[in-house]
Chains A and B, each alone.
Chain A
Amino acid sequence: MTSQVTPSQTVGPFLAIGLPWPDGPFVVPERTPGAISIAGRVLDGAGDPVSDALVETWQADPAGRFAHPDDPRGTTSTADSTGTAATADPTGATASTPAGFRGFGRCPTDETGRYRIVTLRPGPLPCPDGGLEAPHLDVSVFARGLLDRVVTRIYFPDEAQANAADPVLASITDSERRATLIAVAQPGGKAGEFRFDIRLQGSRETVFFDV
């Protein structure tokens, strides 16, 4: 059967009319205990800032859970690291999902190509084959000049052991390419401040995924 899916079209240069939300960059409110920030720039193939992009993130909560009915663990009772039972509710959210945690972040880039997301560290996730995915955020980037979104992932620099066991990172054999998916500690920043630049094109092009 031929797919009847509606094709993608570029967001164009005027996405700022319809898509940014005042609370978009805040997956959790800024002063939430344990909140981290991930900031960086979106750059084009000439190394110039992309000032009309939109960066969106989606991730698990610190316990590795999603408030979503298609997280099958939400319908069973399992124990988290504190030993307390995570209780299911009809939305698939568990008792361990922190209040005010949306899982989703959205930030338009500014004149210098910068974006910034405030969130909580996601937990590791079980893979269907029994392995573990290291803590990560899925990222969509939309911009004028992109006829479809591009998808990447953000991993954390202080999770070396988990990253080494992550099947998605392992599928990228070139270590320099793999490194484009791992945030760095924000130079001169405080603990919990990370930097993640997205290079759309060029010799240090970010790894993008076909999902």
Chain B
Amino acid sequence: MTAEGAKAASGGLVLPHYERPVGVHPPLHSAAYRSSALRAPNRPPTPLPQWLTEVTGPLLGADRVTAADADLTRRHAAEPLGERIIVTGRVIDSDGRGVPDTLIEIWQANAAGRYAHRVDDHPAPLDPNFDGAGRCLTDSDGRYRFVTIKPGAYPWKNHLNAWRPAHIHFSLFGRAFTQRLITQMYFPGDPLFAQDPIFNSVPDPQARERLIARFDLGVTEPDWALGFVWDIVLRGRDSTVFESGEGR
């Protein structure tokens, strides 16, 4: 497109605007989380307007996902060891609207607290029937559902006797670059929360609570699997009209 062509197309661009959540995400520098020391940028971020590249994003569809990808217990010759669980909920924006047809990717340790990854040297057994990766698309109402096993807690070398609370990694796209989110889901009542610098990197205790799923007897399937519910809230939006050439 020529510059003139782009200019001609700019009249009356109506773009959504996504809220900037204040005090929700962890500050990048955390004295307690050692790995941040050499990796977190030192300079304050530069404000970026939310224009065409930011309010759009990849709409990755059904061609990336099969129904089998949402059941991490049936991807190998036999079932993995561990407590079978169902993890379900809705992806919504902060206005409460469901985010339909959006890709969710998860990964996790096995029931013994070991990742199927060559870098993980925790002396706990690997499970040949568990790779720990899953994905699904939300339905038209923003709902998702995974079947997996409860991941184990595991030690790491951040500080003396450091243990990560059991968690599942979640990656979400939403519908815009501004909404991209990667986070972790935790389990209720974990005694390891108090000493975990990653969980506690979220400064607001109420925001931190939103990382914890709740046990739900209604989701629990009799004689089969425990049920947990976790809703994920992405940044909400409001429409703002910009008029081209205003004030000229």
Contact = CB atoms under 8 A, between A and B. Distances in A.
B52 A125 contact: yes
A133 to B, nearest CB: 7
A126 B57 contact: no
Contacts of A124: 1, 3, 6
Contacts of B176: 70
Chain A interface mostly helix, strand, loop or mixed? loop
Interface in B17-61: 19-22, 24-28, 30, 33, 35-43, 45-60
A77 to B, nearest CB: 10
Contacts, number: 273
Contacts of A12: 169
A96 B19 CA distance: 32
A160 interface: no
A135 to B, nearest CB: 10
Interface residues on chain B, size class = 35 or more
B9 interface: yes
Interface residues on chain A, size class = 35 or more
Given A14-B117, A145-B36, A7 B6 contact: no
Nearest to A44: B38
Contacts of B53: 58-60, 66, 125, 133, 136-138
B24 A5 contact: yes
A195 interface: no
12 contacts: A7-B26, A8-B26, A18-B133, A18-B171, A60-B53, A67-B59, A91-B59, A130-B245, A145-B33, A146-B36, A151-B45, A162-B3
Given A10-B198, A103-B58, A130-B244, 8 more contacts: A3-B19, A6-B234, A8-B25, A9-B26, A44-B38, A64-B1, A128-B10, A147-B36
Interface of A: 2-19, 21, 44-46, 48, 50, 52, 56, 58-60, 63-64, 66-68, 70-73, 78-81, 91, 102-104, 123-130, 132-133, 136-138, 140, 142-151, 153, 162, 167-168, 171-172, 200-202, 205-211
